[in-house]
A = this chain, B = another copy of it.
Amino acid sequence: MSELKIQHLITLTELLSKGAKHNFISITTSSLGKNIHKSQQAASKHLLELEEGGLIQRMMSGRKISVKLTKKGYDQIADMYNLIKNSLESSPSEIEIGGILVSGMGEGAYYMSLKGYTKQFKTKIGYVPFPGTLNIKIEKKEHIESLRQVNNMPGKQIDGFSDGKRTYGWVRCYSCTLNGKIPCNLIFLERTHHDLSVAELISEFDIRKKTGLKNGDRITITIPVS
């Protein structure tokens, strides 16, 4: 992880951005200090230390200083660059939420079968869900937080409607997979907007039947993230 003192990285980067890779650049310690948000004295010391460490080549020219990175100095920056780059790239772009299968309120099945919803499901998520939702009890605080995060992401919105007697709220869908393989949709309902300790899943088929999952089984939901 580099025996490079980290504060010097900023200084090196500043010099590099001024073009100090191949040519000597002429600077003053106070301008450098200003740019790295340190005092003139600190900048002067950094330069001295960088030279001592063989990271820069430093010459006095008149009252100013001429500096150029050495190969070692350049390599240090390149190393740090690659370290961050790898961290950024190896970062998986999925949210994982674990929970326990519980029995849902039977009413879900009824609502989801209403014509006002099914027409939209067909066009927006590509299928009419099997009647009935899969309820997942989320136990870990951090998974509830993750669910909150999903809730703040834009999803596929199924609009609410009214049949004259009453109104039915919107449903927001997030494509996801159950236990890494079963495709389904995580849904948020307008009416239960507040409760994030239970996640509801819908799927084209009867998941309980297809997978043999029973209440009390631990499951994992994986939601892809942009």
Contact = CB atoms under 8 A, between A and B. Distances in A.
A118 to B, nearest CB: 32
A209 interface: no
A81 B77 contact: no
A24 interface: yes
Given A6-B7, A84-B80, A93-B22, A61 B17 contact: no
Chain copies in complex: 2
A44 interface: no
Nearest to A77: B84
18 contacts: A1-B35, A1-B37, A13-B87, A14-B87, A17-B83, A22-B225, A23-B96, A23-B142, A24-B140, A61-B140, A61-B141, A61-B142, A66-B141, A66-B142, A68-B145, A68-B146, A77-B84, A78-B88
Interface of A: 1, 6-7, 9-10, 13-14, 16-17, 19, 21-24, 35-37, 57, 59, 61, 66, 68, 77-78, 80-81, 83-88, 90-96, 140-143, 145-146, 149, 225
